[in-house]
Amino acid sequence: MQEKNTKERVIQIKDVYKSFGDLHILKGVNLELFSGENVVVLGRSGTGKSVLIKIISGLLMPDRGIVNVLGRSVPDLNRKQLSELRLDIGFSFQNSALYDSMTVRENLEFPLIRNIKNLSRQEINNSVEKVLESVGLIQTIHQMPSELSGGQRKRIGIARTLIMNPKIMLYDEPTAGLDPITCNEINQLMNDVKDEYNTSSIIITHDLTCAKDTGDRVAMLLDGKFTEAMTFEQLFATQEERIQEFYEYNFIQ
């Protein structure tokens, strides 16, 4: 905790509320992310984990509360300012969200070409090859997303965000629906991304192995509010019944 205070705060979520009609999802959520750390957000399905990172990236607006990302208040940004901020945020979607009609190369080029003008073909090719090598999938460069396995799609989804060199990574259920070996590879990749690209990440998951392997701090979303973010071991040493229940159902040894 001492070390955390010396680092720059890149995300500050304070007293954030979000409802959909009568359904109150977030009820005064607080969370901070410091540079160079991975914070894992655990919670059961439907507790609002994905809603939280959509609020951080400006895809959803909070009903009230403070959402500061890299020193900018997200709800107060206009569209142009939000676009500028998003260049610093990488968002890896649960289902990868690769563009079906484009090849892997075109998927990766898309954000680059549209956001950085006057890049030469050589520079674009170099960037695409570099991120594909980072995720270990250079051989898929000409393939269509439909030809990729679930794990490969996740990796390409991450590569597509890395091509813009983001400062913050938001991972939505990065290991959902994958076999344990592929999960382990994705966990390793997220740690590599943190070291190689110097990113700070929020990782949304309900996979405790993922939380243990990737999280510097772990917080759990219960009844629309976070438990205090702490290390994996500290979190599951608490006597809170629902945390213990979550732990037991994940069969972790």
Partner 1 sequence: MQQNERPYVISKRIDGLFIGLKNGFDFFIRFFRELFSNPFEFKEIVRQCYRIGLQSLLLISMTGFITGMVFTKQSRPSLLDFGAESWLPSLVAIAIVRALAPLITSLISAGKVGSSIGAELGSMRVTEQIDAMEVSAVNPFSFLVVTRIIATTITIPILSFYCAFVALMGSFLDVSLNENTNLIAFFEDAFEQITFLDINSALVKAIFYGFTIGMVGAYQGYNATNGTQGVGKAANTAVVTSMFLIFLEEVFIVQITNWFR
* Contact residues for partner 1, defined by CB under 8 A: 17, 19-22, 24, 54, 57-59, 63, 83-84, 86-87, 89, 91, 93-95, 97-100, 110-111, 114-115, 160-161, 164
Q: Which is nearer to partner 1, 12 or 94 (CB)?
A: 94
Distance CA 189, CA 215 (A): 13
Q: Least Å distance between CB 91 and partner 1?
A: 4
| Beta bridge partner(s), residue 34 | 9
Between 79 and 195, name the residue whose CB sits nearer to partner 1.
79
Q: What is the closest distance, in whole angstroms, from the C-beta atom of residue 95 to partner 1 in the complex?
A: 6
Which residue do the tokens 């979520």 mark?
13
Q: Which is nearer to partner 1, 115 or 238 (CB)?
A: 115
The CB-of-97 to partner 1 minimum distance in angstroms stands at 4
Q: Say which residue the tokens 């898309």 belong to.
A: 110
- Alpha-carbon distance 99 to 106, whole Å? 9
Q: What span, in angstroms and rounded, lies between the C-alpha atoms of 76 and 68?
A: 10
Taking the complex as a whole, the smallest distance from the CB of residue 114 to partner 1 amounts, in Å, to 5
Whole-angstrom distance, CA of residue 175 vs CA of residue 156? 14
Could you identify the residue written with the tokens 């629906």?
A: 177
Nearer to partner 1, 62 or 235 (CB): 62
